[in-house]
Amino acid sequence: MKFEDFGIDPEIVKSIQKLGFKRPTDIQYKSIPPILKGEDVLAIAQTGTGKTAAFAIPVLHVLGRKKIAKRADGVKCIVMVPTHELASQITEVFEQIGKHSGLKSYCIFGGVKQDPQIARLEKGVDILVATPGRMFDLVSQGHLRLNRVEILILDEADHMLDLGFLKDIQDMMRFLPKKRQTLFFSATIDKKIKKLAYSLVTKPIRIQISPKNPVARNVTHSVAFIQMDDKRFFLERVVQENPDSKILVFVRTKVRAERVCKAMERVGIKSMTIHSDKNQQERFDALNQFRKKEVKMLIATDVSARGIDIPNVDYVVNYDLPERSENYVHRVGRTGRGTQKGFAVSFCSDEEKEVLSEIEEFLGKEIEVMTIDKSEYADTLDLTQEKIGDWKSLLLEDEKEQKQVKRKKKKKK
């Protein structure tokens, strides 16, 4: 089936083709028809399956056929998302696909001044992509009116709940018209997600894609058993052996992200970090440089594992295994997107073996073990560019950083 077979606007079809979309993915094939009919949709699909286009294409068609609303009529479509990066990315997709539709798309999020956002809203917006916190703030202050919303979309709903947005989402509902179309997209489903979903949708079309295979088929998975203190040397080796590859590295904490970045710097490897301590401009800059391959390694916490479309990531390295097994899926979903092949390499220390078992249970299969014999392991440590003589002082530095983090957490409590 081709996109034109859905009967959507020819200008939208042209834009889709220019973006390189040839045929609809499974989630697009199953979601577009009911959305065009005005039905509520509850969709569960793994990351990297084309969820954004699955709702952007039909929404642009439906709204484009109606008279474009002026500011007095308010926003026609709200897309709620968990993170700043995802808000920007989804807005870009709406702008690219709806280039000739005459519809205006815009995104708002916290962490930046709200006055420019208010000024932009006053000029008129048809499709608004927003994080729940900032959106609720602007609604509460009277700067954003939602009484004309026809379509509500919740994307990465499970992650929004993880980040504590449940109350904001529930509070927002009283400002929205009861008669509306609601589209609910999530990578995972559990009792909490199901309860939220069915409180928002009415007789939805339920769509579930590849429930038995939570990760893309074209990702090759492997795990290497490496002691915690030696991981930086093996990351160095991955980079040296794949000099032209784009490598996304996931670590457990913000402190570790910065430490790994410094460790790579000491051996002459340029990298950047992205985590919640970075301001919005720093996060955008890091993502843009990584997208353009100006920097070939990006070190991230799980804040950027969800829904962010970074093209042509060759390797995802789980420097630390995630605390929650489902986050493994979101991390490795950054590679092997579409028809491209990708590699997911996990470093597992003795302390993380229990987590590895939970991940394998979640995946429903064992991850292939990358065998490293003793001599190869020793060679990796010997060949590092880092002066191992400084190792004890680095460990002491690490211990101090960890103690400082614990103290800060205690003070906050």
Residue range 308-352, pLDDT digits in tens:
678 889 999 999 999 888 788 888 888 887 667 899 999 999 999
Side by side, which strands form the sheet with 272-274?
272-274, 297-300, 247-250, 315-318, 342-348, 219-225, 368-369
HSE (side-chain half, CA atoms, 13 Å) at 232: 23
For residue 410, the model assigns a pLDDT of: 57
Q: Under CATH, what is the fold of the domain 3-208?
A: Rossmann fold (3.40.50)
Residue range(s) of every CATH 3.40.50.300 domain in the chain: 3-208, 219-409
Alpha-carbon Rg for the chain in angstroms: 23
Instruction: Determine the pLDDT at residue 400.
Output: 58
Strands (DSSP E) along 41-169, which ranges? 41-44, 77-80, 105-108, 127-130, 151-154
Q: Are 208 and 329 in contact (CB under 8 A)?
A: no
Q: What is the structure's pLDDT at 406?
A: 57
Q: What is the pLDDT of residues 154-168, one digit of tens each?
A: 998 888 887 788 888
Whole-angstrom distance, CA of residue 341 vs CA of residue 313: 9
Q: With contact defined as beta carbons under 8 Å apart, do 218 and 336 qualify?
A: yes
pLDDT of 193 reads 85
Q: Which residues of the chain have pLDDT under 70?
A: 47-48, 67-73, 210-216, 304-308, 338-339, 386-413
CATH class as words, domain 219-409: alpha beta
Q: What is the pLDDT of residue 47?
A: 66
* pLDDT for 337: 74
Task: Of 155, 203, 200, give the one whose Cα is nearest residue 182.
Answer: 200
| Two structure tokens written together for 405 | 């983090």
Sheet with 205-208: strands ordered across: 105-108, 127-130, 77-80, 151-154, 181-186, 41-44, 205-208
Whole-Å CA distances, 337 to 213, 307, 314, 333: 15, 12, 10, 7
Asked whether 254 and 301 are in contact (CB, 8 A), the reply is: yes
Neighbours of 128 (CB within 10 A): 27
